[in-house]
Chain A
Amino acid sequence: MRKFKRLSALVAVSAVPFFFVLMTGTAEAIRIANHCEPAPGDR
Chain B
Amino acid sequence: MIADRFARRRRVALIRRCLLRGVYCRRRGWYAEGERWARRADEAAREVDLAGRATLLVDLASLWHALTRYPESHACARRAAELLTPSPPGPGRDGPLSDALVRMGDVERRQARYVPAEVHLRHAFALAPETDHERGAAVRLALGVLCKELGRYGEAETCYRDALTRLDRLGGEHPMRADALHNLAGLAHTRGDPGGERYARAAIEARRRTLGPRPGPRHDHVAADLAVLGALLAGQGRHAEAEETLHRAMDIFRERLGADHYEVAVCQVNLARLDHLQGRAEQAGRRYRDALRIKRLTLGPGHPEVRRLSALVAEVGDGLAGKG
Contacts and interface: CB of A to CB of B under 8 A. Distances in A.
Main secondary structure of the interface of B (DSSP, over half): helix
A21 B24 CA distance: 8
Contact of B106 (A20, A29, A32, A36): A32
Contact of B59 (A26, A32, A38): A26
B182 A33 contact: yes
B19 interface: yes
Interface in A1-43: 16-18, 20-21, 24, 26-40, 42-43
Interface stretch (B43-51, B85-93, B225-233): B225-233
Given A31-B179, A31-B221, A36-B231, A26 B276 contact: no
B147 to A, nearest CB: 10
A38 B270 contact: yes
* Most B Cβ at <10 Å: residue of A31, A36, A39, A42: A36
A28 B26 contact: yes
A33 B145 contact: yes
Interface residues of B, number: 51
B186 interface: yes
Contacts, number: 98
B23 A24 contact: yes
A43 B312 CA distance: 8
Given A16-B24, A17-B21, A36-B227, A30 B273 contact: no
Contacts of B276: 43
B20 A38 contact: no
B148 A34 contact: yes
B183 A33 contact: yes
Nearest to A40: B308
Interface in B137-182: 138, 141-142, 145, 148-149, 175-176, 179, 182
* Most B Cβ at <10 Å: residue of A32, A37, A40, A43: A32
Given A17-B24, A26-B19, A43-B312, 18 more contacts: A26-B56, A28-B62, A28-B63, A29-B62, A30-B66, A30-B102, A31-B224, A32-B102, A32-B106, A32-B179, A33-B183, A34-B148, A35-B263, A36-B189, A36-B228, A38-B273, A39-B190, A42-B273
List 4 tightest A-B contacts by C-beta distance, closest first: A36-B231, A34-B186, A26-B19, A21-B20
6 contacts: A26-B63, A28-B66, A30-B138, A33-B145, A33-B183, A36-B189
